[in-house]
């Protein structure tokens, strides 16, 4: 997570505490009276946690969330409404956490106003030394330009300071934004004083000035490989510029037996819970599918699983029974093959419910790359480098690519989703799985990306 987003979270946590204190003061006129003293640390922590959770759902902590003031105010208002509903429900079930309706409404109002002010003014922090970080890019070729374009112009703590020209790279223009050359790297960084040097050389053998870069490193400047910097900022891998040695020597891509064990336990627990909760809905969905169009209720299709082993995926049927009479094709926007009920099921993701049985059986995981059809896999393996690497883990009902990228229906989309899938495999952890599950709930609630 970027430093600026961490700062927003920390700031909101303290604002929640101040808002609650102000609400108590307005309600009781003191912070030390008998009624006020009944509100303790647990109530404060729970109050703040719910506010941050609601802020997450309305995307106040999104990396791309550079909102205008009116949109920010609307999102804050929706977050406050969500917080009020959650807090009211929990206070009803657990009265020990209750802080009183008068205090609650005052605290929420104060928090909302101060949160708008804080989020509106937080970009000013990026000009403060220690927050704004100067970046120099070593290499002014295509990769270097790609990294420059990546550095966000808004709501970030990075400032592009220029290129160090590499003779072998080929300029992008008439030495545009070039601040030095490979012959005087240390002299250049001593003058510009950057916080980071991003090494963006397409070819390093016999070109990389190791001694100069080492002097920069030992003088306290962080030196980062372009691919690692790209991964850190975007949450995906720059597949086109990665070579096999990068996979071998990079951190990550390590799955232990314990990780496999906890993931299987999590899969069984989540799939069983989902099946139990969805049990009353499934007969109704099946009836709707049957009445809407002729054909079977369930849609069975061969997909590629872990180790490129085929398995049969199960979903509620959302297309006409003759949808693929002319062969396998990707779904498209406003696909005419989708039935009326199918459109609703896809929007709400209810068509995915039967896949929980695939998870329970062990063909799939709850979180992982989406399983693709064998016909498409063979084509994509020929056109996209490292595509087969996504099959080193079980496919999932949801995944990092699904929550970060809209529905894919082309080779270009598959390449973009592969960047996210490989990031997930590289950074596989229980915390990332939990984040994806939370993001999936948000995607389902807002109906994004379905076709």
Contact 347, 450 (CB under 8 A): yes
Q: How far apart are CA 406 and CA 432, in angstroms?
A: 19
Let me know the angle formed at the C-alpha of 385 by 227 and 260, rounded to the nearest 5 degrees: 75
Name, in order, each residue with C-beta under 8 angstroms of 152's C-beta and a sequence gap of 6 or more: 63, 158, 233
Q: What are phi and psi of 168, to 5 degrees?
A: -80, -5
Q: Are 392 and 364 in contact (CB under 8 A)?
A: no
Which H or E run contains 397?
Answer: strand 396-398
Contact 267, 365 (CB under 8 A): yes
Cβ-contact 189, 162 below 8 angstroms: no
Quote the CA–CA distance of 241 and 143 in Å, as a whole number: 8
What span, in angstroms and rounded, lies between the C-alpha atoms of 120 and 72?
Answer: 8
- Provide the CA 127 distance to its chain's centre, in angstroms: 27
Contacts of 375 (CB under 8 A, 6+ apart): 328
Beta-carbon contacts of residue 368 (< 8 Å; ≥ 6 apart):
393, 394, 395, 396, 399, 424
How does pLDDT run along the chain (451 residues), one tens digit per residue? 456 677 888 999 999 999 988 988 887 777 665 555 566 678 888 999 999 999 988 878 875 556 677 778 888 998 999 999 999 999 888 887 778 777 889 999 999 999 999 988 876 665 555 567 889 999 888 888 888 888 865 445 688 889 998 765 554 544 678 898 888 899 999 999 998 999 998 777 767 888 889 999 999 899 999 998 999 888 899 988 888 888 888 888 887 888 889 899 999 999 999 999 999 999 999 999 999 989 899 999 999 999 999 999 999 999 988 777 766 676 767 678 889 999 899 888 899 999 999 999 999 999 999 999 998 998 899 899 899 999 999 999 999 999 888 766 678 888 999 999 999 999 988 888 988 988 888 777 766 655 5
CA dist 23 and 44 (Å) reads 12
Residues in the chain: 451
Give the global pTM: 0.78
- DSSP-derived pairing of the beta strands 365-367 and 396-398: parallel
Question: In 151-209, which ranges are continuous DSSP H helix?
Answer: 185-192
Instruction: Please report the beta strands in 80-143, taking only residues with DSSP state E, as ranges in sequence order.
Output: 133-138
Distances (CA, A) of 67 to 12, 114, 384: 17, 16, 35
């Amino acid at each position: 997570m970027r430093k600026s987003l961490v700062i927003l979270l920390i700031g909101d946590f303290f604002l929640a505490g101040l808002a609650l204190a102000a609400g108590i003061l307005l309600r009781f006129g003191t912070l030390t009276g008998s009624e006020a003293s009944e509100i303790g640390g647990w109530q404060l922590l729970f109050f703040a946690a719910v506010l941050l959770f609601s802020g997450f759902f309305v995307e106040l902590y999104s990396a791309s969330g550079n909102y205008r003031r009116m949109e920010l105010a609307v999102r804050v208002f929706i977050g406050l409404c969500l917080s009020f509903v959650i807090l009211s429900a929990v206070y009803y079930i657990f009265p020990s956490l209750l802080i009183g309706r008068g205090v609650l409404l005052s605290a929420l109002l104060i928090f909302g106003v101060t949160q708008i002010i804080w989020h509106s003014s937080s970009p000013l922090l990026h000009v403060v030394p220690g927050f704004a970080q100067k970046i120099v890019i070593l290499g002014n070729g295509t990769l270097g330009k790609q990294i420059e374009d990546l550095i966000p112009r808004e709501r970030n703590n990075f400032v592009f300071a220029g290129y160090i020209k590499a003779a072998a790279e080929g300029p992008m223009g008439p030495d545009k934004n070039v601040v030095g050359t490979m012959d005087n790297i240390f002299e250049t960084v001593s003058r510009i004083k950057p916080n980071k040097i991003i090494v963006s050389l397409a070819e390093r053998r016999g070109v990389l000035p190791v001694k100069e870069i080492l002097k920069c490193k030992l003088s306290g400047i962080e030196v980062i490989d372009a691919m690692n910097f790209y991964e850190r900022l975007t949450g995906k891998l720059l597949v086109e510029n990665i070579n096999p040695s990068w996979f071998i020597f990079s951190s990550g891509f390590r799955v232990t037996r314990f990780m496999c064990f906890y993931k299987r336990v999590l899969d069984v627990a989540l799939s069983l819970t989902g099946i139990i909760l969805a049990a009353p809905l499934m007969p109704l969905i099946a009836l709707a599918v049957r009445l809407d169009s002729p054909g079977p209720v369930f849609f069975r299709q061969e997909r590629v699983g872990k180790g490129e082993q085929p398995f049969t995926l199960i979903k509620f049927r959302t297309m006409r029974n003759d949808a693929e009479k002319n062969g396998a094709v990707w779904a498209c926007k406003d696909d005419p093959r989708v039935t009326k009920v199918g459109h609703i099921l896809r929007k709400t993701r209810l068509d995915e419910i039967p896949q929980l049985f695939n998870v329970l059986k062990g063909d799939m995981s709850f979180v992982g790359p989406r399983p693709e059809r064998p016909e498409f896999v063979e084509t994509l393996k020929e056109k996209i480098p490292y595509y087969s690497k996504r099959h080193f883990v079980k496919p999932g009902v949801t995944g990092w690519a699904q929550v970060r990228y809209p529905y894919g229906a082309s080779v270009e989309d598959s390449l973009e989703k592969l960047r996210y899938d490989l990031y997930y495999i590289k950074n596989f952890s229980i915390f990332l799985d939990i984040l994806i599950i939370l993001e999936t709930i948000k995607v389902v609630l807002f109906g994004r990306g379905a076709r």
